[in-house]
Amino acid sequence: MASSAPSGPSVLDLAPVVPVVVLDDAVDAVPLARALVAGGLTAIEVTLRTPAALDAIRAIADEVPDAVVGAGTVISPAGVADSLSAGARFLVSPGWTDTLLDAMKGSGLPFLPGVSTTSEVVALLERGVTEMKFFPAEAAGGTAYLKSLSAPLPQARFCPTGGISLASAPAYLGLPNVGCVGGTWMLPADALRDKDWGRVESLAREAAALR
């Protein structure tokens, strides 16, 4: 995802939608990941927002070989190291600093540093990073903002995340500088509470068919 990352398919190109997963119980990680993969969403971002996150990443990495599990909400070098040791295969941050960027580059994993302004995009391009998370997408200007970046900064590609829905995702995916979008709509709270993995799989299949 960054130019310094290992060769291989970009996370931006694995699926049109990357589910952004928040798990309170690592026991749910494997059946949830299996449902998402069965629906066609193989790249799964597990956010480091709960105590269960690292165990969830570890379980998915160990037990769901068809999933490409990554760590989201990575905001410190310690988070980078913990995610790497848990088996994460990519990293996503809501924003970036020089210290965090150095740690993500040093991990050897593909990564998506978060941006919401033109200056942040230019600063990352200056550092050789061409693939980024645009966050919070809707609040930061949405499709109109990203479209305006495509002419002066065509080398930058984005995964917009934040406030995107099934209805709005196609407009993002139609932009030339968008590789995929991040979202949570295929993970409704009641489905997770009830462990309704069939519903999750159905919603994932609908999302995977967007492009």
* 129-150: pLDDT as tens digits: 999 999 999 999 999 999 999 9
* Active site residue ranges: 45, 133
Cβ–Cβ < 8 Å for 40, 206: no
Q: Which two tokens stand for residue 46?
A: 């597990």
Q: pTM of whole model > 0.75?
A: yes
**Coil, strand or helix at 45:** strand
Check pLDDT > 50 for residue 127.
yes
Mean pLDDT of 37-41: 97
pLDDT in tens, 45-62: 999 999 999 999 999 999
Query: In this model, does residue 28 exceed pLDDT 80?
Result: yes
Beta-carbon-side half-sphere exposure of residue 120 (alpha carbons within 13 Å): 19
pLDDT computed for residue 2 by the predictor: 45
User: Strand 17-21 to strand 181-183: parallel, antiparallel, or no bridges (unpaired)?
Assistant: parallel
